[in-house]
C-alpha cells in the first residue's frame, strides 16, 4: 500500500477498527515511513487538541426557567373560547379572488343560459302536459263520435229530436 492508502486507514487504525491483515500492513508501513508516522501523530494530537474547547456550565436555575417557559407556552397553546375565530385573519386577496370568481360565474351563466320567452321549445314538463291534454281531447272526441250513433245518453230526445 502507498502513503495515500495508509493515511486513509490511520484513523481507523488509531481507533482500533482495523482487521488483523490491514493492521499488520499499516504497522509495517509505519516502520519504514516517517511521513505517515508523523501523520499518525498529528491525527492523534488532533483529537487531543479538540479537547481545548471549553465546556460551559448551565445556569443554576435552568430548571425553574424551563418550567416557567413551559407554563407560558401551555397557556399560549391551550385552545380558549372562540380562539378559532380569534385566529382567523382576514385574507383580503383570497376574499377578492372568491368574489371575482362568483361574479364571473353569474355573468357566464346568464349569458349562456337559453332565453325561454322566445324559444320554440318549452320546458319538457309543459310540453308533456300539453301532449296529454291533446290526447285526452282526441280520445274524448273519438268516443263522442262513436257513441253518437246511439243517440243522447240521458235516455231522452237527442239534440236532433229523434227517439232512442
Query: Whose Cβ is closer to other proteins: residue 71's or residue 107's?
Result: 71
Provide the CB-side half-sphere exposure for 5 (13 A, CA). 8
User: At its nearest, how many Å lie between other proteins and the CB of residue 31?
Assistant: 20
Cell numbers placing 138: 282526441
Quick one: which of 3, 24, 27, 49 contacts other proteins (CB under 8 A)? 49
Taking CA atoms, 115 is separated from 103, 105, 119, in Å, by 20, 18, 7
Contacts (Cβ under 8 Å, ≥6 apart) of 116:
122, 123
Looking at 19-27, 49-57, 116-124, 131-139, which segment touches other proteins (CB under 8 A)?
A: 49-57
Tell me if 8 contacts other proteins by CB under 8 A.
yes
Query: Whose Cβ is closer to other proteins: residue 39's or residue 151's?
Result: 39
Amino acid at each position: 500500500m502507498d502513503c495515500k492508502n495508509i493515511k486513509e486507514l490511520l484513523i481507523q487504525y488509531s481507533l482500533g477498527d482495523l482487521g488483523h491483515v490491514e493492521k499488520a500492513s499499516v504497522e509495517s508501513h509505519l516502520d519504514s515511513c516517517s511521513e505517515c508516522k508523523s501523520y499518525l501523530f498529528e491525527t492523534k494530537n488532533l483529537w487531543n487538541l479538540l479537547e481545548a474547547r471549553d465546556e460551559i456550565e448551565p445556569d443554576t436555575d435552568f430548571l425553574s426557567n424551563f418550567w416557567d417557559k413551559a407554563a407560558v407556552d401551555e397557556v399560549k397553546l391551550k385552545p380558549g373560547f372562540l380562539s378559532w375565530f380569534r385566529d382567523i385573519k382576514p385574507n383580503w386577496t383570497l376574499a377578492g379572488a372568491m368574489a371575482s370568481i362568483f361574479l364571473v360565474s353569474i355573468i357566464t351563466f346568464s349569458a349562456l343560459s337559453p332565453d325561454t320567452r322566445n324559444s320554440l321549445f318549452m320546458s319538457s314538463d309543459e310540453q308533456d302536459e300539453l301532449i296529454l291534454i291533446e290526447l285526452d281531447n282526441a280520445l274524448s272526441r273519438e268516443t263522442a263520435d262513436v257513441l253518437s250513433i246511439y243517440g243522447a245518453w240521458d235516455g231522452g230526445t237527442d239534440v236532433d229530436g229523434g227517439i232512442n
